[in-house]
Structure 1
Amino acid sequence: MELTVAELFAGVGGFRVGLNKIKEVDENGKAIENGFWKFVWANQFEPSTKIQHAYDCYIKRFGVEHHSNEDINKVNKTEIPDHTLLVGGFPCQDYSVARSLNSEQGIEGKKGVLFWDIRDILIEKAPPFVLLENVDRLLKSPSTKRGRDFAIMLKTFDELGYDVQWRVINAGDYSMPQKRRRVFIFAYKKNTKFANSTKLNLSLSNIFNFEFKVTLKDKTRSIDLSEYNDVFDISNNFKEGKFLDTGIMKDGKAIFSDVEAIVEEKYTLEEIIRKAKNINNSLNNYIVKDDKLEKLKYLKGSKRIERVAKNGHSYIYSEGTMAFPEKLDEPARTMLTSEGTVNRSSHIIYDTEIKEYRVLTPIECELIQMFPINWTNTMTEKRRYFMMGNALVTGIISRLESRLRKIVENE
C-alpha cells in the first residue's frame, strides 16, 4: 500500500513532524521532510480564535495545498482524499450517545464531540490504518462510569471493521525530554494482513510494546464488547470499569494490563537548556523577579485552605509541594497551555549562567516537544507557549515510524 496520510486536528503538524522526521526548515521557512509519508490532506480549525495561528504555522511549513481550515463538523467527508493512514490528536470529551428520534437513523453521538467526526471519516473513506493520541484519562473516563468512553470508542471501531491496540506511554521514560503520559491508539481493518497475523497477546502483538519496552503486570483483564448490542447499550449500561495501560481488541474481545516501563537513559531539562543557549538571543524577557517570583513560590508551595461550596458546605482544599526551581537533572514536567505565565504549572528554572530565576523560552518548549527550533515563530510568544502545551512529543511518532511503514508496505 502507498504511504499516504490524512492528518486531523493537525495543530502545528506534530504527527507530520514525527512521521517524516523533520529536524529543520529551509531558508524560506519550509519544512525539510526526510521521510517517506505523503500527506494528502490535513485539517486544522480553532473555533475560539479569529486568527488561525496553528493553521498559519502549518501552511508556512508545508504549503497551503491539501490543507483545510474549515470546521471539521462542516467538512464534506466524501471530499477528503483517499488515504492509507489517518492520524490525529483529538480532545477527551464526553462520548455519551443517544438514539435519534427516528430509529431508522440509528445512533447519534453527543453534539460537538470530535470523535464522531473521526467515525464519519472512517465510514466514508475506510482507511486501513488509524493512529490517534489522547490524554491517558480517556481510559478511565467519565468519573461516574469508569471506562465507558473508551469502551464506546472500541465498540465503534469494532462495528466499523477495525481491531485496535493501545498503550499509555510516558515519553520521559524513553530518552525523551518530557514526562508526558499519553495514550496512543492504533486501529486497523480486520481484513488486512496485519490483522490476520495479530494474536490476542500483549507481548507478541502490541506494536507499542515492541518499540517502548515494558514489563506487563501480573493481572491481565479482559472484556467481550460483543455482549453489548451497540454503542447506545454501552453508553447506558457499561459497568466493567476502567481500561488499563496497554491492550488489544480483536473481533470485539479485548485484553489489557497495567505495565511497568523499562526505563531508558534520561534526557534532562539541563540538556534542553544547554542546546537552546546557542539560539536564544536574550533571556532578559524571561527573568522572573520580585512580586511575580514570590507569587510563584506561593503557588508551587503546599496549601491547606478552607473553602465554602455553593451549597454552604465547608471543605479543605489542599495541594502538595512542587519543585521550585525545576530539577534540571530530570526530564521536564508535562507542559500545559499556560506555560510561561505566573501559574503553578509553569516551569521555573534557576539559570546558573545569568544567575536569575526565569521561565522557559519558546525555543526550549519546542525542544521539549521535540519540534525543530523556532517552528512556531510565525505567531506571538503567548500563542507559541499555547501550541507547545497542546502538542504531542513528536519523538514518540518518529520512533514508531519504521514499524508503521513496514506494516503498511507489507499489505
Structure 2
Amino acid sequence: MEFDFLSPVHEDLLDEISHLNQQTIGAQISIHAEKSGIPDMDGMNVAIFGVRENRMAVRKTESPDFYQIRSQFYSLYPGNWRLKLADLGDIEPGATVEDTYFAVQTLVESLVKQDVIPVIIGGSQDLIYAQYRAYDKLDQMVNLVNIDSRFDLGDAEKMISSQSYVGKIVVDKPYNLFNYSTIGYQTYFNSQEEIELMERLFFEAYRLGEVTSDISLMEPIFRNANLVGLDLGAIDSSSANTEFFNSPNGFNGREICALSRYAGISDKVSSFGVYEYQGHLGQLANMLVSQIIWYFIEGVNYRTNENTISAKKEFIKYQVPIDDEVLVFFKSPVSGRWWIEIPFLSTVNTKLKRHTLLPCSEEDYLEACNQVIPERWYKAKRKNEV
C-alpha cells in the first residue's frame, strides 16, 4: 500500500508500547512506524488512522494530536477477538482542505475495496463528506448514520463546515445517498426549518430522550448503515469531564459505547469515523474515546454475516395484511433479529436492489400485527418511489 500522505506513529509511542503487557492491544496491533513503513493490509480486518484536519471547524482550535488517544487505546486489552488490527498513522492537513478530503476519500475507498474496515479519528466532522465520497466508485447507494446532537444539514450553497456538510452530500454529484439517520439530536440545537427538511426528505431522526429510553431500538438503524459518523459533541460534558463538549445533556459513556458496538456488529457498516476530537481533552475524555473505538471493534468481532444469500435462505417468513398492503417480515433463527421487505421498483434505480430488506425490530412486527404500519417502512418505500 503506497500512501505517501500518511505520517508514521510517533517514536515515543513505540517506546511506550515496548513496556506494555504482551496481551494488550499495543503489543498486538501492526503499526506504521518510520523504520518499518506502512503495514501490509493482507489479512487485516480493521485499520485505524487519524486525520489532523479541522480548518472547517465551527470552534477553531489547533490541529489535533492523537498521541494521547493512541496511548490510552494501546494500553487496553482486546476481547476474545479473531481480528487483525493495524494503525496506519495520520493524514496530515493538505495544502487545502480539499487535498485532505481527497486523501481521506482515497484511503477509505482503498481499504473498503480490500474488505478492511477503516476507523477514522478525525478533527472536524466535515470529514464525513470525504468518508462518504469514498463510496462514489463502489456502485451502491449508501446509508449514512450520524450520532450527533445536530442534523448538520446546513446550506449546500455556502461553504462546508463541521456543522453543515450533509447538504453537500445530498446535492453534490454523484448521488449515492439513499438514507440519512441522526441518532441523539437535541431539538434546541436544530432550527424548525432543518427539522421540516428532514421530514420532507424522508430522513430519519431520533431524539436524545427517545434513544436513551431504550437504546436497543437503535440496533436496526445501524444494521442498515454503510458508514457511521460519531460527533464527540453528542456526549454530555460531565461524562468526558471537559467543557469542550459544551452541552450538559447528551449520551453518557455507557450509552455512547453501546451505540458504537451496534455500529460494529452491523454486517453492512464498512467505515466508522469518530470526529471533533481535540488533543487537549484530558485523560478521562481520551479513555472514553479509546473505549468507543474498542467497543466498535468488539462489535465487528461478533458479526454474524447475515447479509449473505445462504443466511437469508434460513430466515423465517411472516406475512401481515394491513389495509391494502401485505407486509412481509423475516426473522433470523440464528440471531433473532428482524427485517421487513421493501417493495422494489426496478424502474426507479437499479442500485436499490440491496435495500429490499430493511432491518427492523420485533416491536415493529408486533405493531404491524396490531395494524400499525412501521414508520421506517413507509419512509423507505416513499424514497424508493420518488
Q: Say whether the fold is shared (TM-score over 0.5).
A: no
Between structure 1 and structure 2, the one with the greater Rg is 1
Structure with bigger RCO (C-alpha 8 Å, 6+ apart): 1
Bin of the TM-score, shorter chain as denominator length: 0.3 to 0.5
Structure (1/2) with the larger helix percentage? 2
